[in-house]
Chains A and B, each alone.
Chain A
Amino acid sequence: MMTDEYKIAEGLYYTKEHEWAKKLDDGMVAVGIDDYAQAQLHEVVYVELPVVDSEISQAEAVGAVESVKAVSDFYCPVSGKVVEVNMSLLDSPEQINNDPYGEGWIAKIEPSNLEADLGKLMDAAAYAEYLKTVSH
């Protein structure tokens, strides 16, 4: 799905701060920032990853994505325990620009309150409507 120039991946859940969460087959949840967020930042040069094994709450600032000019906090879309982080972003932060929903994933979370958390997020269709209201 495309809203204006931004790609919105189907099957993912979105926050108003432009993060996404994706249920994986093994019960884990992958999280990252979406196409709108990467386009606003432009040229990501640095990613501060969440801490592996840390317990986090939904909407907690657990990392940051930075361009030459700007810093954007990363608010984790679901609660749980960080089981893995995308170490390849340390050397190739531009993966977030090139493939925000794929190679640009930030962390995998073992969710602790998944259904309730997802209930507070938007699906692709609702997020597409929301994006239309965001000035850019």
Chain B
Amino acid sequence: MDIKDLKKTHIYEYHVAHGNVVDFGGYAMPVWYEGIKAEHAAVRDACGIFDTCHMGRTWATGPDVERFLNYMITNDLSKLEPNGGLYSVMCKPTGGIIDDLILYKINDEKYWVVYNSSTRDKDFKWLKKNSKDFDVKLKDVSDEVAMIAVQGPKAEEVMQKITEQDLSKVGRFTIADLTVCGYEVMAARTGYTGEDGFEIYVPDTTPENPEKALKVWNDLIAAGAVPCGLGARDSLRLEAGLWLYGNDMDESINPLEAGLGWTVKLEKEGYFIGQRAIQKMKDEGAKKVLIGFKMEDRGIPRHGYPILNMEEQEIGVVTSGGLSPTLGYGIALAYVPPEYKKRGTELYIQIRDKPVKGKVVKHRPFYDESVYGWKRDK
């Protein structure tokens, strides 16, 4: 399909002028502007920005909203303070993962829900369909609110230049009302790179009237941010050990298999969708689990490559893989039977018919947290 016939985000005009634009799930999105390696390094060392307008954003409001969302997700909203954020998954009754998402509590009757682009329509329909017995209102505002991610150890410094309020007061995983470029926006201190940073939500701007969003984007660049494409977004999230929906989890995967047990609160008040299936898997034990894997011999693991034990029997599959630009070697997320999950276990990945050796490693994140990522030593 021709690029100009694809769905456009608010930042489209910048992408076609400066980026290598491809069809990404129906959206015209940049894989890179100058190059994946430089963009990746900009986020690990300084500050990069990403167009995330293709993702899903929904307002959930009403007297029953907390009870409704807690019924939809595996995690527990009940302890969340106003302006707090919570990462969770929502599941089907089978325990299969519908999507992962972040929910921000504005107040007892108002939540801001952010989810993936590839599942945007599916998620909203799923929420809507299950909301009938609750006094809640759901409003998909994905096309009326732009979303720009500012990521990296210098994210606060860069964004502060165009923000009226003191950003050091915005805590990790919270959301705040801010004035950015003179516009009233919301921003959450989170991201998908492992680094410190913010996701800025700019209201009252659409892909057809993108001026406000483009102003924020261009002012961030003028303040020192490096525009980054989907290539760096993927390599950064992989180094951070973060799941990509559609690769590392989908409707056939239970959160306990995906290493997402920490988002499942089986003891919380009230039933949630998927609870029985997840409880059953907890009782019986998962047959496969997600591991992090590091190549020791030369080779780059990729999505779909088989993973073999030392007897060269196929035991699983790579769901995400690539060369880590920061570490300089191949890393992967893969599913294997639990007897192979112990760190240090040597396994092979089959790369073009050849078994190439590596081992199971810590993967959230893959890098040394004292050197990289939001917890790094200052």
Contacts and interface: CB of A to CB of B under 8 A. Distances in A.
A43 B300 contact: no
A77 B21 CA distance: 31
Given A61-B352, A68-B235, A69-B231, A42 B35 contact: yes
A64 interface: yes
A58 to B, nearest CB: 19
Given A42-B32, A43-B35, A46-B300, A68 B325 contact: yes
A69 B352 contact: no
B20 interface: yes
Given A42-B36, A43-B37, A68 B20 contact: no
Contacts of A42: 20, 32, 35-36
Given A66-B300, A68-B322, 8 more contacts: A42-B35, A43-B37, A46-B298, A46-B300, A46-B323, A48-B299, A48-B351, A90-B298
Interface residues of B, number: 19
Interface in A62-90: 64, 66-69, 71, 73, 90
Given A42-B32, A43-B37, A68 B352 contact: no
B156 interface: no
Contacts of A45: 37, 300, 323, 325
B92 to A, nearest CB: 31
Nearest to B235: A68
A69 B31 CA distance: 9
5 contacts: A43-B36, A46-B298, A48-B351, A68-B37, A69-B231
Contact of B302 (A61, A71, A90): A71
A118 B352 CA distance: 27
Contacts of A43: 35-37
Contacts of B325: 45, 68
Interface residues of A, number: 14
B352 A64 contact: yes
The 7 A-B residue pairs whose C-beta atoms are closest, nearest first, are: A68-B36, A45-B323, A69-B231, A43-B35, A46-B300, A66-B300, A43-B37
Nearest to A67: B36
B249 to A, nearest CB: 21
B234 interface: yes
A68 B32 CA distance: 11
The B interface, classified by DSSP as helix, strand, loop or mixed, is mixed
Contacts of A67: 36
Question: Which of B300, B325, B351 has most A Cβ within 10 Å?
Answer: B300
B38 to A, nearest CB: 9
Contacts of B231: 68-69
Nearest to A94: B37
A69 B300 contact: no
A43 B351 CA distance: 20
B34 to A, nearest CB: 10
Interface string B202-239: 00000000000000000000000000000100110000
Interface in B163-222: none
A46 B352 CA distance: 14
Question: Which of A46, A61, A69 has most B Cβ within 10 Å?
Answer: A69
Contacts of B234: 69
Nearest to A66: B300
A38 to B, nearest CB: 13
B350 to A, nearest CB: 13
Contacts of B298: 46, 48, 90
B7 to A, nearest CB: 20
Contacts of B20: 42
Contacts of B323: 45-46, 66, 68
